[in-house]
Structure 1
Amino acid sequence: MTKYESKRNNFIRLFYVRDGIKHKSSMEPMDIFYQILHEDLNPLTSQTTQKFNSPNSKNQKPNHELTKEENNSEKTERYTFYENLLSDTLKKVKRDIHNKVFQCIDDPISINSIIQNHQILLLNYCKVIEQNYLPDDKNEKYQISEDKSITDIFKLIYQTLDAILNYLEISFPKYLEPSLEIPYQRRLWYVHQKKERCRLLIAMLNALDIPLQLTEIICDPLNKIIDNDLSGFTYQKKEYYSVYIKVLFKLLSKDTIVVEDVYAVLISLEFNTFKIFFYLRDEYISKKIKRTYGAQKKINILHQFLKEIKTTTVTSSTKYNPNFPSLKEQLLIWIREEINALQRTMESSSPASVKEKITGYSQNTKKVLKLSVSEISLITRLLYEQGMLEGSKKTFFEFLSSTYITHKTKVISPESLSNRYYSIPDSTKISVKKILRGMLLKLDTIQSET
């Protein structure tokens, strides 16, 4: 009996026999991975510090005295031990999970907890192996070398953990936590399925007459799939990438494409990277604003952008970066801030504002007219039509706006005065007639005094 056979037998006895009575241990099958990574079953510590209960263990030579052939034999023996142990463990864990779920078949919340707790634990164990025991090129997780080294054993452990994650996805998909990573096997299969379509999309994008910088931003997720550079590839990201590829292919298959179509698709897909936000802000919106003269014209253009983005429907249920703000919302916020800034600039440079700066005149010093806005407009019209006022009506409306308020209207805009200038309700005509009669009566009183 070899020392690895002896070790396996001892492990089986510990697992099934306690206090001299044969029965299945209460130890969870998943606990074996804890022992492998942290206790006596660790491939690194167990081989150098622990004696196995083999009849020949006392007479064994130290490792440095073993021949090359003996070393190779021991490596193979050790690898086979873990291979058998992990194969048996995989079966036990699957059966254990199945039994636990079956016991909670009428309690979806408990099933959620079971599946997601296993997800978290398995992914944490995978990270421990990746960070501490695997080489830098982690794309070789499924490549076992001929010499069956310690690294190969840790790859075998990783593969077993990944196989359990794969089992969870196949057997209990609706109970998985979507913000957690998908199994490595499933990731490799996803890359294999999508790689050629991604290459085709990149070729189609390069053939378009759009800026190179924009092409590089759009191609970034496609290149990540081709290179299998998908660190932290969660179920959410998998869903997003699939929709991204599908919608992009549909767009690029059109006979004619304008760059605005591309922008609209990226916004609707919530492709919320910092690069695309700054690109749309600086290369698309700001450049058009800078080529326009006059604050009001710039505001008008910004309002057009505001309308375009607001009417772009978000079709994706997830975002490219789930923890980042929405691309659509960030663009809307930025445009509104630009509009407000331009409006403040216009107000500070208007004649009324200059007057405020020179004389200290402000909103608080405006005079109250005991008239409605409609009545002010009608009286202004009468003054113009009687030849008592001349010049620009717009300028006079601005003067009234900056000088007066009413009890009901704290800000009389020139536009509201202009709109009511010709559109006069009958009620306003009646009230103004009453005012004029009152003025005539007052005039008669004044005349009688003299």
Structure 2
Amino acid sequence: MSLAVQRADFDRYMVPVFNPLEMILVRGEGSRLWDQQGRDYIDFGAGVAVTSLGHNHPALVKALHDQAAKVWHVSNYFTNEPALSLAKKLCAATFAEQVFYCNSGAEANEAALKLARKRGVDINPEKVEIVAFNGSFHGRTFFTVSVGGQPKYSSGMGPNPAGIIHVDFNDIEAVKRVIGPKTCAVIVEPVIGEGGIVPATPEFLQALRDLTTANDAVLIFDEIQSGNGRTGALYDYMNTSVVPDILTTAKGLGGGFPIGVMLTTAAVGNHFKPGSHGSTFGGNPLACAVSEAAFDIINDPAVLAGVRTKAARAAAALRAMGERLGCFSEIRSSGLWFGCELSGALAARAGDLVGKGAANGVLMLQAGPNVLRIATSLIISDAELDEGLRRLEKTCIELLS
């Protein structure tokens, strides 16, 4: 069979910042995907926690189809109905009073960091320092990759932006040593994602809230991955007693359609003025229409309760698998988001596990060389969940033999 495009075309035509697996996926439904050859895969990665409602969800397809027949783009010289409708719902459901739209999590964090710096400078020209955490990840723009706590992503491109301080995650005393009058913001993932699915302790988050308030700095929660139902709450801050000043999110909000959002209070957001920041495609009618449809489904108590139920089912199965096979030393989880610490003969072989898993029909992620990362659809069926776990166990057994 002659195919119009093949995996070799990636190496021929694409800038080599990715190294995808050999198959080319062409169709999806629910938590299954199919490649060009018709092989099926259980999706345990959800496009890196993006396809929150699985593939080809009818409500999202309808929203896209209906809006596509109306208007695709009007620019930010004008506004549009889907953008305003979604903004009203986001504010009604959260602490926020204002919304900024963009196209990705990196752009949402870029906006948040610029807003925090703008507010700081409005107060005091020297109030520009940003406190962030080792192991964190906040995006791929030069500002956000510098704020992220993984030097491998920001090295080799010349001087990084100044005024960024990194300390260890969950270390309250370390934060106390570096926060002060020059601090404009602390940015934190309530659950570190790329760094291994590591939840912040409640005491740590409360200390960040207390310290930022005492030093007139803003607290930014990066909920790019942890938001939109992933942890069993609409946003993970709702699982705590801590409310941030700015929350960023993206990924699962669009269910697969690109969108990024910064949520904030009016007191903070009003430090931006017309022209301070912007985005050509931010608030795009198509993106907002699809995201509103996804939001309406996710922000349903029954759906969020289902996330918690399925999460408990999957966590128990993963822990039992680890005990039977000796392959996982720890299962860290936050809703339908798992970090499986590898041990024994699988130690430091997350890449092998992902590759072999794909060959066995289950698509997974890694968070470093020693952590298998799993993020399913929020509404994955029990049958698909069980089948994916069966294929994962088969993969572990094969690699251990």
TM range (shorter): under 0.3
Q: Structure 2 length normalisation: TM-score?
A: 0.21
Who wins on radius of gyration, i.e. which is larger?
A: 1
Structure (1 or 2) with the greater strand fraction = 2
- Asked which structure has the greater RCO (Cα within 8 Å, sep 6+), the reply is 2
Flag the structure with higher helix content: 1
